[in-house]
Structure 1
Amino acid sequence: MSQDKQVGLVTGGNRGIGYELVKQLALKGFKVILASRDPEMGQEAAQRLMDTNLDVSFVEMDVVNQESIRQAAISINKRFGRLDVLINNAGVYLDKNQKLLAMDPGILEKTMATNFFGVYNVIRSFIRLMEKQGYGRIINISSEYGAMSELTYPGVGAYKLSKFALNGLTRLVAAEVNGDIKINAVDPGWVSSDMGGPSAPITPKQAAESIVSLATIGPEGPNGAFFRDGKRIDW
């Protein structure tokens, strides 16, 4: 296979939206790396897609472990020498409906470690591969819960703050990048997954479709914007 195929990386790719994103990128002709912190589940998910002749491979990566991210970056650089698309999908939702100041601070710390610092460290490690070729598309899976208007209401405070910070990170990085590198945030909506539960109205497949379109925007496409259902929404 020729090396000029674009390479995509999806964190938390072994289930839910992440798995669908890996599948849909591969169907669009990408070489896709499915990243998961659980090597067994990750390998198994990647194998299922490989069995349908999709160009998918697996890398172990725990986004709360900087050494794990560093090793994954070294391995991807060695194997592919490039990265065109990065989708930061790995995330946690640990809140019970407690008030922020009444909850165990460990819940906020764990949430920020994955949803904010995890994404920050992944971007920091992988942006070099994009800068090397002057091209890249980064998509952060956020949530409308991170919108400024949501902070007026109590509840789900740790998750809201983590996504609010992630949205801020998206805008700051957008302001810093050079060349044809674009970073945007997407709210996938309420998705029927382990996180969203069975009664959610949107399937992972539907959610992934609107996200994947941002992976293939041209040089005139948006940078530092927030989307839901393919439309821009307010921060």
Structure 2
Amino acid sequence: MPIKTALITGTSRAAGLGFAVARDLAEHGYHVVLTARDRSAAEPLAERLRQDGHAATALRLDLSDRASIDEAADYLTQTFSHLDALINNASAMPDYQTLSALEADMDALRSALEVSVVGPWGLTEAMLPLLTAAPAARIVNVTSLSAQQIATGLDLGAPLRSPAYSMAKYLLNALTTVLARALKDTPILVNAVDPGNTATHPERGDDATDRPAAESARDIVRAATLGADGPTGELFSNGYPAA
């Protein structure tokens, strides 16, 4: 049986969620492909996994660059021939201090949409031949509770925190549903996972209540390893379908 393969976007930081997901999947026997806009950021992390006896590869992947996406797809086609799990983990939060949609920076919005919506959409299309070549591939879109500010309707007296980031994650959730519907006649399952507040930025002073990255990663890996009877088009939060 061919080794299972997984591609994880946004794996440039040792403390990041992407690396925690990569390690967990590697421990499940996957050959993990760690990607970042700068390959030199992902390579030391891949080397750490290799030193621990896991199969890992570092690859440059810039979600805002279509040529980069196509190059990654070509590399995987030539190297693995199939892809069992695509984890759209990369994220951009360029407006975390903005508290009003009327103060949104359009450059920040474009950046957030490129990384969280346009990029994952294009990457899924590019990887589709590899995903369909796997026996039962899984696509996991890593989302955020911030999207719920829009999905559930805003209290008129409440600020919309990080409007560009929140809108991008809201649209990523919608994309999850759209892709699940498009792939409903295939074995591929597509789900979104909100990992909750996660301690991935010690340099910024993570909150004491933030979950360890390894704990949050388990929810993502669970969605990436669902059985044939698993759900599709769902949003999961803390390991359970979101209300």
Scaled by the length of structure 1, the TM-score of the pair is: 0.94
- The one-letter amino acid of 2:12's match is N
Q: 1:150 to 1:77 in 2, by over 3 A?
A: farther
Cα distance in structure 2, aligned partners of 1:143 and 1:68: 26
Cα distance in structure 1, aligned partners of 2:134 and 2:87: 18
Cα distance in structure 2, aligned partners of 1:74 and 1:202: 36
CA positional deviation for 1:167? 0.3
1:11 aligns with 2:16: no
CA positional deviation for 1:145? 1.2
Q: CA RMSD in A?
A: 1.6
Counting aligned pairs with the same residue, the percent is 29
SS in 2 for 1:70: helix
Query: Unpaired runs of 5+ in structure 2?
Result: none
Cα distance in structure 2, aligned partners of 1:104 and 1:19: 30
SS in 2 for 1:129: helix
Aligned to 2:238: 229
- The one-letter amino acid of 1:198's match is D
Cα distance in structure 1, aligned partners of 2:242 and 2:91: 21
SS in 1 for 2:179: helix
Aligned to 1:212: 221
1:167 aligns with 2:165: no
- The correspondence of residues 79-118 of structure 1 with structure 2, limited to 5 A, is 79-95=79-95, 96-118=97-119
Q: Deviations over 1:113-171 (max 9, x none)?
A: 11111111111111221123452100000011112126444221111100110000000
Scaled by the length of structure 2, the TM-score of the pair is: 0.91
* Preserved CA contact (<8 Å) 1:22 1:34: yes
Cα distance in structure 2, aligned partners of 1:90 and 1:169: 15
SS in 2 for 1:135: coil
- The one-letter amino acid of 1:213's match is R
- The one-letter amino acid of 2:11's match is G
- The one-letter amino acid of 1:173's match is L
Aligned length: 232
Q: 1:97 to 1:42 in 2, by over 3 A?
A: same
- The correspondence of residues 125-164 of structure 1 with structure 2, limited to 5 A, is 125-133=126-134, 135-147=136-148, 148-149=151-152, 151-152=154-155, 153=158, 154-164=160-170
Query: Unpaired runs of 5+ in structure 1?
Result: none
